[in-house]
Amino acid sequence: MTDIARSASAASQSVFDSDWMIRVRRGSEALAIPIAALLVSALLFSIFLLALGKSPAQFYQLIWLGGFGTGFSWSNTLLRAAPVMLTALAVAIPARLGLTMIGGEGALVLGGFTAAAIAIPMIGGGAPIVMHVLMFAGALAVGAAWVGIAGALRQFRGVNETISTLLLSYIAIAIMNFFVEGALRDPADPNKPSTKALESVEMIGKLPGIDVHWGLVFAIVACVAVYVLMFRTTFGFACKIAGGNARAALAQGLPVGRLVIVATLIAGACAGMAGYFEIAAVHGKANASLASGYGFTGILVAFLARQHPLAIMPVAILFGGIAAAGGIIQRRMGLPDATVLLLQGLTFVVLLASETFYGRLTLFNPKARTDRT
């Protein structure tokens, strides 16, 4: 540490290390490293494809085609991106408090199931607005409670939040299955066990001019709102202090426990909202396909976006596109649908490995050194 003070004073004399330049350099680091990680994982995945005797060029071309090439594929992409944005927020908000919470899937499933369950007595009742307001509120409340439980366990009982959120996700899916296959199963539905479906006129409509539901608008608004909350308000600043150093936060009199609870409630509500839109705009009923992995993709998206709410939007769209291309890849290349999951998993591993480069590249840190004692 001793030399740093002197390097610091030396640095202050250099034009290139002005406040402004330092911010630019740190910003470009946060952009360049995830992009490099994406490229590396694409490269690794190409090797995997070559080993299978498939053409990487064709694969990436099909991703482009299936995800972003046509108006139809864009709809498909955005349809998937919307819930992923919300589940990614469910990871990014606790991350601001230093918590690694991966329970978006559970909160989405249980929130969606709650919405579907609330709807049952009101289907065909002629008051769709009331029904949707109640469904929306129920989904958010249950989603919030589900992640909030993990927050409370962490804060008051010292339970590791990563493990508890992961396990709570499986419990959530089991709870949904229990009711869907039992008490709440719609006997009139000949297909797989489901709750009673909304009538098609009662579903949430599409956005004007594009084949995507209103969930996308809500997801974008949520990303911007969370950005403002976490980066531009005193609440967000207090969260950042508590996340960076809980002891220091306590010494400043900050209510660390309350911050953790509130942040995890907001996180869960975001994932619950994704569940609501899956029911109200996509499926119309709760069944096993509600647990389709959006919660887990959200983890990857949040990490790739460096837990930044605004960066989550483009990254979610990218992964929405990759997922949307799954079908066309299956048909044209004879690769299983799960191939894109492999690409996601690979990206996640490379991404975690790339974390080691932060603060160590001289390009972004003019005085990057390792002599901190």
Partner 1 sequence: MTGMTSERRAIGLEAVKMRKVFGGLVALDDVSLKVPAGTFHALLGENGAGKSTLVKCIMGFYKPDGGQVLVDGRQSAIANPREAAEAGIGMVYQHFTLVPSLTGAENLVVSRPRGSQIIDWKTEHAALEEFLARMPFRAPLDKPVHMLSAGEKQKLEILKQLFLDQRFIILDEPTSVLTPDEADEVLGLLRGMTKRGDVTVLMITHKFREVQAFADDLTVLRKGGYAGSGKVSETSIDAMAKMMIGDTQIRERAARVAHKDAPVTLDIAGVCADADDGRAAVDGINLKIHAGEIVGIAGVSGNGQSALVEVLSGQRPMREGQLTIKGADFLPSRQSMAKYKVFGLPEEPLKNAAVPNMTVAENIAFRTFDQPPIAKLGWWLSAGPMRKRAQELIARYRVKTPSADAPIAALSGGNVQRAVLARELSSEVDVLIVANPCFGLDFASVEEIRAQIMDQRNRGAAVLLVSEDLDEILSLSDRVAVMSEGKIAYVEEIGKTDRATIGHHMAGHGH
The DSSP-derived string for 60-81 is: HHHHHIIIIISHHHHHHHHHHH
* Residue 200 is a binding residue for partner 1 (CB under 8 A): no
236: contact with partner 1 by CB under 8 A: yes
158: left (phi over 0), alpha (psi -120 to 50) or beta: left
- Distance in Å, CB of 27 to partner 1, minimum: 11
Residues 3-32 that bind partner 1 (CB under 8 A): 3-12, 17-19, 22-23
Which CB, 30 or 65, lies closer to partner 1? 30
Q: Tell me if 356 contacts partner 1 by CB under 8 A.
A: no
By CB atoms closer than 10 A (0-12, 13-18, 19+), residue 234 is exposed
| Using rule CB under 8 A, residue 253 touches partner 1 | yes
* Interface size with partner 1, residues (CB under 8 A): 42
Instruction: Select from 300, 305, 316, 295 the least CA-distant residue to 79.
Output: 316
Pick from 330, 349, 351: nearest CA to 340: 330
Cβ neighbours for 310, distance < 8 A, ≥ 6 positions apart: 223, 224, 227
Contact status: 158 vs partner 1 (CB under 8 A)? no
Torsion region of 212: left, alpha or beta (phi above 0 gives left; psi -120 to 50 gives alpha): beta
Residue 282 carries which DSSP code? I
Nearer to partner 1, 191 or 362 (CB): 362
User: Which residue, 42 or 250, has its beta carbon nearer to partner 1?
Assistant: 250
Neighbours of 305 (CB within 10 A): 25
Q: Residues 91-130 vs partner 1: string with x where CB under 8 A?
A: ----------------------------------------
Note whether 232 binds partner 1 by CB under 8 A: yes
Residue whose CB is less far from partner 1, 26 or 192:
26
Mark 202-231 with x for binding to partner 1 (rule: CB under 8 A) and - for no binding.
------------------------------
Q: 24 or 36, CB closer to partner 1?
A: 24
- The full length of the chain comes to 373
Q: Which residues contribute to the site for partner 1 (CB under 8 A)?
A: 1-12, 17-19, 22-23, 232-238, 240-241, 244-245, 247-248, 250-255, 366-367, 369, 371-373
